[in-house]
Structures are given as structure tokens and as C-alpha cells.
């Protein structure tokens, strides 16, 4: 019996044969069919396949044709794809290129602008550019070529890939200052797709919005489920994401997936009106807590659709828990957010204490995950891998660093980060709890609190930031004092026009601390 | 608010954000600011807020086309049409 083939591009390859005329990708104002993309992917894969040694192909591209052709061609050739972030500074790009030992690097127009002499010198022997972007090779033996000019014969079909081969490496923020590369196997992704297929039920008629950069693993969900269904993927620019209504309506999207911050932005500008998006049949939110009010406002705007809150770390293949918005919603009472629900049937969730022992039922603890979606580990970081991926009772678990609990109905709740717990003058405080009260008092979802200033690991106070609130800071403080002990009410509240976001669109607490450190908070306040 | 002063305010803000993000070299009126990655989503928010304040663009309008704000020339065109 032949071994099962886990090549990630197989479902895509099938569509290029069975529905070559169907549109697969709409990006930067153009549309590409499965057939057109299949030709371009097979052509690029033909150049990649003979060069594979590390089996890693870098993608210095996002929200572009090059990004998607690069990803699919890497998969088609049997390599792992490795998205590199276009927002990384030169020094970090160089360091990661040196560590990754890529076989090739696929670059789009914006990526080409980042190919400084130092970056190009650290780049692999094959660098593939978009048409019209000329660059000189940095050294003998390095080939820098426009994609269309590659003269290798196309690779007719995806090559056989084993379940334990690395499928992709996606970087997440690391506490040590450098990002961690999470290695997901082709087999893990196969399990993920199998479990996600039955509740997303994508079909060839679906028009799926892509709001994220390919460095964020929500794009893994969109791309591979889209290709399997023969649906179309509609890629937004980052600019369009700031005011997405026009895009969703003009592309008549049927599926939406993004971080919940997008809802906050739209509510703030008054854009999120009831019945605004009749075409959406499903909206999926992920990546940060989903305030119940925000979910309900989105549901009102999508009268023909459901709203799903999904949860999971990159280390367990996109997500592995899900809660559908119901009426009334299943909420996490202390936080006013939608619960994270129940795990995929193949995944097991543990709520563990500091010694990795299960806590008593209902008690809070660290969320740990076990099952076929657990990652191989962090690229080149065996110690960090051993620290976060543990053998417990003979099985391999990933410790998420998220705090959670399981209620009597078997529904799981997210209670914040293990490391967002702070002590202020000896009092234990969860910043998320403060934020929940702050949201209510400020009448805005766009809030964040940090412990500051911190000396010797102990905070002297809390400082909050609020965007989109009509209330004066003093009035917000007074309202908070009505529901919180004084030690949990921030000493200062700064109103900003907007909250800084990290590369994945989440509120960047570190940037807020930096603002305070630099003494610019009052100046930046609106 | 006159057209000239609104244009000057937005232009100055865009150039300041480019400088702050380490963009070197001249920028032409037709260079892409956002699609090119020169400016990020934080900067886009700032530009939107400025336009809201200076010329009263309505972000609540579902047909508002944000892609028409990618160059200085486009932004100034929008201001010209509104003031």
C-alpha cells in the first residue's frame, strides 16, 4: 500500500485540474484562477525542487501574488515555507536569514525594497524577485532572478511529503527579544484541516476575506481550507483593513476572519451599523479576547451569518478551541468576553498548576494542550522547546502561558496571560480584569492597562490608555472606583487617538510601556 | 479650514511620520505610502483622524474608499474635493 501523501499543496493541485477556470485569488486589484496559479506555482516549484537541502523556502512577501505563489510553490516542491516579516528591521532579517539556512527566498515588490546589501548577502543562493525588480547578486554562486525569467522546467505535480516533515515555520514574539520560529508538521496541518473542515463548511461558492499578513497563522486556515473547497480568497491591503466595510461589501465576502480589534475600530468610527454585511455567512474572530458586546454588534451587522470565537496558540496549529456566539452569549463572567468554548475532539485541554498537575475542577490554572496539532517545537531552540513542550504522564503537552478554567458545562474560559498578572504594592492584580472595568467606564473597547513604573519586579501603580472614549479621564476613574477597589484603579489614564498594535494587530502593551518610559505619554494624549 | 492649510497640515504630518519611521530620501507626490509599506496601520489611523478633524470625512460611510489615500497626491485630491 502506498504511503499517504501529506503535501500541503495537494488539494490546490486537484483544483487546478478540476476547476481551472474558477477564481482562487483576488489580490492588488487582480484576479487569478486556479489554472493560472497552478501554472505559475508549478513553474516556480521547478526552480525550487532541485535546490532543496534544508527543505526551507523563505517568503519575504505578503498580501501579494508573489506571496501566494511562493507559499504554494514551496509546498508543491515538498519544502517548508517560512514567512519573514516585512516589518522586521534589517538587523533582525539578517540574523534570521543566517539562522534559517534557506534553500531559496521568494520576494515581492515591498520585500525587494528590503534587500539591502547586508540582507542580500545573508540571503540564500536563489532569490526570486517579482517582474521588473532587478537586483545584483551579492556573491558568486548566488542567483537573483525575476520569477518569470526562471528557465527551469515546471514540476508537473506536488512531490510526496511525509506526515512528520515540517510544513511551515511561523514566527511569534519571543520573550527573549528574538522571535521564535514555530515548526508545524504537514501531519499536524492535515489534522487541523480535518477538524476545521466540518464547522467552516467552505464551498466553491465561498468568497473568503484575507485580513492578515502571511506571517500570522490565521492565513494558514484561510489558504488551505479555501484551496480544498475551491473557493476564492480575497486579500485586503493593510490600508483597507483600517476601514474594511467597502471591501467586504464590494467583494461580497461570505466569510470573514480577523482579530477583534477590527470591530472596535469600526464601532469607534460609527461604521458598524446593523445589517451592514448581508453577504457574510460566517465571521471568525481570533487572536485576542472577544468582548461579548463587540461580538453582538458584529452579529447585528451580519444578519445572515454566525459569529465564531476561536482560540489556540500558533504552537498548536492555528487554533484548537471554538465557541459559537449564541443568544444569550456564553461569556467568561469576570471579563465580559466570549468564552473560548470546547476543544477540537482530537485535542485535549488541561488546566494545570505551577507543578503541571491538574487543578481542582473549576479552578484557574495554565492552559495546556495535547494532541496531534502540537508543534514539532521552536526552530533552533531546543531548550526553549523543552521548557514549553513537556512530557506529562507519557504524553507531549504544550504549556500556553495562558490562564484558563473549565466550568461545570465543560466550557473553557480564557482568564488572561500567566504573565499579565502583576503585583502592585503587594496586591495581586490581573490586568485583564482592570481592562474589563475600564472598558465599561470608558465606553470603549480600545483600552489597555500596564503596570508602571516597575522597579525590582514590583509595580508601583497602574497606568491605563483609552482610545475612542468621550469621557474625561477623571470621570472614567470615578466610574471605575465604583466597581473596583482603589488599588486596582489606574493612577493615570491617558487618552490616545489610537492604541499601538503589534504586527498581528493586537494591542501592544510593550509599546505603551515604552511611551511611559520615554515620558511622551502626556504629549501623545489627545 | 481652508484647503491650503488642510493640505499643509496633512502633508507635514505624513512627512513627519515617514521621518519617524526612518524613511530616507525624497518622496514624490505619487509614491505609495501604505501599499509600499513605508507607513503602517498606526500612521494610517493618524491620517484618517486628521482628515476627519480637518475636513470632516465620514469614516462611518460604508462606501468610503480608503485605498484612494495611498499617495500625497490622492490625499490632497480628496481634501480639494471636500473643501
The CATH number of residue B23's host domain is: 1.10.1200
Contact between chains at A113 and B65 (C-beta distance less than 8 A): no
pLDDT exceeds 70 at position A52: yes
Non-local CB neighbours of B9 within 8 Å, separated by 6+ positions: B50, B54
- Cα separation, A457 vs B40, in Å, equals 33
- Asked whether residue A295 is domain-assigned, the answer is no
- Cα separation, A11 vs A33, in Å, equals 15
Is there a contact between A50 and A62 (Cβ–Cβ < 8 Å)? no
At residue A268, the pLDDT reads 82
Q: Which of A208-222, A436-450, B53-67 shows the lowest mean pLDDT across its residues?
A: B53-67
A86, A241, A500 ranked by CB distance to B37: nearest? A86
Is A149 within 8 Å of chain B by CB?
no
| Residue A142 CA to its chain's centroid (Å) | 33
- Asked whether residue A232 is domain-assigned, the answer is no
Residue with more model confidence, B59 or A426: B59
CATH number at residue A66: 3.40.50.980
* CB contacts, 8 Å: A505 with chain B: 41
Contact between chains at A87 and B61 (C-beta distance less than 8 A): no
The C-alpha of B2 sits at a distance from chain A's nearest C-alpha, in angstroms, of 23
What is the count of residue pairs from A and B with beta carbons less than 8 Å apart?
70
At residue A289, the pLDDT reads 82
Kindly compute the dihedral angle of the four CA atoms of residues A502, A176, A337, A303, in this order, to the nearest 10 degrees: 40
List strands edge to edge, sheet with A462-467: A447-451, A462-467, A492-496
% of residues, chain A, pLDDT over 70: 94
pLDDT exceeds 60 at position B24: yes
- Asked whether residue A203 is domain-assigned, the answer is no
pLDDT, tens digit, 9 for 90 and up, residues A173-206: 654 446 789 999 999 999 999 999 999 999 999 9
Average pLDDT, chain A: 91
- Asked whether residue A517 is domain-assigned, the answer is yes
Give long-range contacts, CB 8 A cutoff, 24+ apart: B12-19: B13/B46, B13/B47, B13/B50, B14/B39, B14/B43, B14/B47, B14/B72, B14/B75, B17/B43, B17/B46
CATH number at residue A464: 3.30.300.30
Number of domains in chain B: 1
- Cα separation, A48 vs A70, in Å, equals 10
pLDDT, tens digit, 9 for 90 and up, residues B37-62: 788 776 888 888 888 888 888 878 88
Residue with more model confidence, A407 or A177: A407
- Asked whether residue A513 is domain-assigned, the answer is yes
Number of domains in chain A: 2
The C-alpha of B83 sits at a distance from chain A's nearest C-alpha, in angstroms, of 21
At residue A526, the pLDDT reads 43
Q: Where are the beta strands (DSSP E) in A335-489?
A: 337-338, 342-343, 348-352, 365-370, 377-378, 389-392, 395-406, 412-417, 421-424, 427-430, 447-451, 454-455, 458-459, 462-467
> How would you classify residue A213: left for phi > 0, otherwise alpha for psi between -120 and 50, otherwise beta?
beta
Question: Which A residues, 22 through 41, put their C-beta within 8 Å of a C-beta on chain B?
Answer: 28
The sign of the torsion formed by the CA atoms of A337, A338, A342, A344 equals negative
| Angle A446-B47-A493 from CA coordinates, rounded to 5° | 30
Band the pLDDT of A525: cuts 50, 70, 90.
Answer: low
Q: Which of A4-13, A463-472, A486-495 shows the lowest mean pLDDT across its residues?
A: A486-495
Residue with more model confidence, A375 or B66: A375
Last residue of a domain, one of A154, A185, A216: A185
At residue A285, the pLDDT reads 95
Is A276 within 8 Å of chain B by CB?
yes
At residue A471, the pLDDT reads 93
Contact between chains at B41 and A505 (C-beta distance less than 8 A): yes
- Cα separation, A245 vs A418, in Å, equals 36
Contact between chains at A243 and B63 (C-beta distance less than 8 A): no
- Asked whether residue A61 is domain-assigned, the answer is yes
- ipTM for the complex shown: 0.83
- Asked whether residue A199 is domain-assigned, the answer is no
Query: Domain range spanning residue A120?
Result: 10-185
Query: Domain range spanning residue B73?
Result: 3-82
- Asked whether residue A34 is domain-assigned, the answer is yes
At residue A177, the pLDDT reads 43
Amino acid at each position: 500500500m502506498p504511503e499517504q501523501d501529506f503535501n500541503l499543496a495537494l488539494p490546490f493541485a486537484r483544483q487546478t485540474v478540476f476547476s481551472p477556470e474558477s477564481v482562487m485569488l483576488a489580490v492588488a486589484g487582480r484576479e487569478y484562477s486556479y489554472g493560472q496559479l497552478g501554472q505559475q506555482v508549478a513553474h516556480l516549484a521547478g526552480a525550487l525542487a532541485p535546490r532543496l537541502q534544508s527543505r526551507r523556502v523563505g517568503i519575504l512577501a505578503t498580501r501579494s501574488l508573489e506571496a501566494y505563489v511562493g507559499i504554494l510553490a514551496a509546498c508543491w516542491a515538498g519544502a517548508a515555507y517560512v514567512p519573514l516579516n516585512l516589518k522586521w528591521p534589517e538587523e533582525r532579517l539578517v540574523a534570521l536569514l543566517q539562522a534559517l539556512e534557506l534553500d531559496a527566498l521568494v520576494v515581492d515588490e515591498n520585500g525587494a525594497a528590503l534587500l539591502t546589501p547586508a540582507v542580500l548577502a545573508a540571503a540564500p543562493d536563489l532569490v526570486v524577485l517579482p517582474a521588473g525588480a532587478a537586483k545584483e547578486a551579492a556573491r558568486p554562486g548566488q542567483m537573483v532572478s525575476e520569477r518569470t525569467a526562471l528557465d527551469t522546467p515546471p514540476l508537473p505535480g506536488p512531490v510526496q511529503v511525509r506526515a512528520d516533515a515540517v510544513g511551515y515555520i511561523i514566527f511569534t514574539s519571543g520573550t527573549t527579544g528574538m522571535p521564535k520560529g514555530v515548526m508545524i508538521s504537514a501531519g499536524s496541518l492535515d489534522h487541523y484541516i480535518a477538524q476545521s473542515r466540518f464547522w467552516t463548511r467552505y464551498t466553491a461558492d465561498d468568497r473568503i476575506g484575507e485580513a492578515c499578513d502571511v506571517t500570522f497563522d490565521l492565513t494558514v486556515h484561510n489558504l488551505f481550507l479555501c484551496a480544498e473547497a475551491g473557493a476564492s480568497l480575497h486579500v485586503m491591503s493593510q490600508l483597507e483593513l483600517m476601514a474594511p466595510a467597502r471591501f467586504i461589501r464590494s467583494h461580497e465576502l461570505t466569510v470573514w476572519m480577523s482579530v477583534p480589534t477590527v470591530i472596535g475600530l469600526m464601532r469607534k468610527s460609527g461604521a458598524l451599523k446593523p445589517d451592514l454585511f448581508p453577504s457574510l455567512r460566517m465571521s471568525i474572530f481570533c487572536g485576542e479576547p472577544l468582548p461579548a458586546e463587540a461580538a453582538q454588534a458584529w452579529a447585528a451587522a451580519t444578519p445572515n451569518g454566525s459569529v465564531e470565537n476561536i482560540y489556540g496558540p500558533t504552537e498548536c496549529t492555528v487554533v484548537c478551541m471554538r465557541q459559537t456566539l449564541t443568544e444569550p452569549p456564553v461569556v467568561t463572567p469576570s471579563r465580559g468576553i466570549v468564552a473560548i468554548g470546547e476543544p477540537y475532539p482530537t485535542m485535549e485541554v488541561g488546566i494545570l498548576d505551577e507543578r503541571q498537575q491538574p487543578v481542582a475542577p473549576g479552578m484557574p490554572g495554565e492552559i495546556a494542550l495535547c494532541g496531534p496539532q502540537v508543534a514539532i517545537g521552536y526552530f533552533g531552540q531546543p531548550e526553549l522547546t523543552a521548557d514549553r513542550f513537556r512530557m506529562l504522564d507519557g504524553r507531549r503537552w504544550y504549556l500556553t502561558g495562558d490562564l484558563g478554567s473549565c466550568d461545570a458545562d465543560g466550557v473553557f474560559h480564557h482568564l488572561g496571560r500567566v504573565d499579565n498578572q502583576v503585583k502592585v504594592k503587594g496586591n495581586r492584580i490581573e490586568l485583564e480584569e482592570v481592562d474589563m472595568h475600564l472598558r465599561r467606564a470608558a465606553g470603549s473597547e480600545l483600552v489597555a492597562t500596564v503596570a508602571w513604573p516597575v522597579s525590582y519586579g514590583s509595580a508601583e501603580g497602574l497606568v491605563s490608555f483609552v482610545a475612542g472614549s468621550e469621557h474625561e479621564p477623571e470621570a472614567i476613574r470615578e466610574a471605575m472606583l465604583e466597581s473596583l477597589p482603589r488599588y486596582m484603579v489606574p493612577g493615570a489614564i491617558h487618552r490616545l487617538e489610537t492604541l499601538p498594535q503589534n504586527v498581528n494587530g493586537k494591542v501592544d502593551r510593550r509599546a505603551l510601556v515604552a511611551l511611559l518610559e520615554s515620558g511622551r505619554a502626556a504629549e501623545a494624549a489627545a | 479650514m481652508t484647503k491650503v492649510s488642510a493640505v499643509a497640515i496633512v502633508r507635514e504630518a505624513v512627512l513627519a511620520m515617514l521621518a519617524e519611521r526612518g524613511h530616507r530620501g525624497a518622496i514624490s507626490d505619487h509614491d505609495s505610502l501604505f501599499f509600499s509599506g513605508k507607513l503602517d496601520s498606526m500612521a494610517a489611523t493618524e491620517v484618517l483622524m486628521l482628515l476627519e478633524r480637518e475636513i470632516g470625512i465620514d469614516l462611518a460611510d460604508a462606501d468610503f474608499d480608503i485605498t484612494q489615500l495611498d499617495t500625497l497626491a490622492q490625499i490632497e485630491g480628496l481634501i480639494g474635493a471636500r473643501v
